């Protein structure tokens, strides 16, 4: 398979640095963990990981069609901005001082079944509409291809990165969604909602500004 330990360390290190850079996905995970606890946030984390898996599969398969100055990339950026604006406005409009512990302890089957799909979809949409994810994996696997990394090794790297995304986001959720942390923020759920909404709006506005400067 030609798996090089030195190359694996390079790939894993670059991916770790990318994970440590906070973006929309991080704020969604943090918000969900504080409002619902880390167990229910697992669906958001899995959605984010699956979206990353799509980009990884496309990059490994050589279908990285998104280029920084291409129309497809601009359209993905615009769609991502629209989604961030939608989430931000939604959180600002519906922010209220609800009991976080009630959300965490809610065990009704209907809530668990419907909410899991909603949380998964939110995480998946956030990550799949983030053009930075597409660029990162396209650039990384293009570099690996240029260095003649075997296809089998690239698959191993891809599986590792999928697991790393899911594991890292779940670790963040577990840390933020710990019962003691959740209890501390119980009375501030409205502030958490408004802050997250404002951050998502700010990120969307900054990306939209750069997009307008480039194309207008």
Quick: pLDDT tens for 102-113: 444 443 333 343
Quick: pLDDT tens for 25-50: 888 898 888 888 888 899 999 999 99
Give the contacts of 195 (CB within 8 A, at least 6 positions apart): none
The average pLDDT across 187-191 equals: 70
pLDDT of residue 103: 43
pLDDT(198) > 80? yes
Quick: pLDDT tens for 123-158: 998 888 887 787 788 778 877 766 677 888 888 889
pTM value is: 0.72
**DSSP code string of 130-165:** -HHHHHHHHHHHHHHHHTT--HHHHHHHHHHHHHHH
| Tokens matching residue 41 | 């946030």
According to DSSP H, which parts of the chain are helical?
5-20, 24-36, 38-60, 71-93, 100-105, 109-128, 131-146, 151-176, 179-184, 189-215
């Amino acid at each position: 398979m030609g798996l090089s330990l030195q190359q694996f360390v390079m790939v894993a290190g670059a991916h770790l640095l990318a994970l440590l850079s906070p973006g929309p996905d991080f704020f969604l995970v943090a918000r969900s963990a504080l409002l619902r606890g880390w167990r229910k946030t697992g669906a958001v984390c899995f959605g984010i990981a699956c979206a990353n898996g799509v980009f990884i599969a496309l990059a490994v398969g050589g279908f990285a069609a998104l280029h920084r100055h291409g129309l497809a990339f601009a359209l993905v950026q615009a769609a991502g901005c629209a989604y961030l604006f939608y989430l931000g406005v939604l959180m600002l409009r519906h922010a209220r001082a609800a009991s976080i512990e009630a959300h965490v302890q809610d065990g009704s089957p209907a809530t668990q079944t419907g909410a899991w799909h909603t949380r998964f979809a939110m995480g998946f949409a956030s990550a799949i509409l983030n053009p930075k994810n597409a660029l990162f994996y396209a650039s990384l696997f293009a570099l690996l291809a240029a260095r003649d990394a075997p296809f089998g090794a690239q698959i191993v790297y891809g599986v590792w990165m999928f697991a790393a995304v899911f594991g890292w986001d779940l670790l963040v959720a577990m840390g933020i969604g710990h019962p003691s942390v959740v209890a501390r923020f119980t009375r501030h759920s409205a502030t958490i909602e408004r802050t997250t909404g404002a951050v998502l709006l700010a990120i969307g506005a900054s990306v939209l500004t750069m997009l307008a400067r480039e194309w207008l």
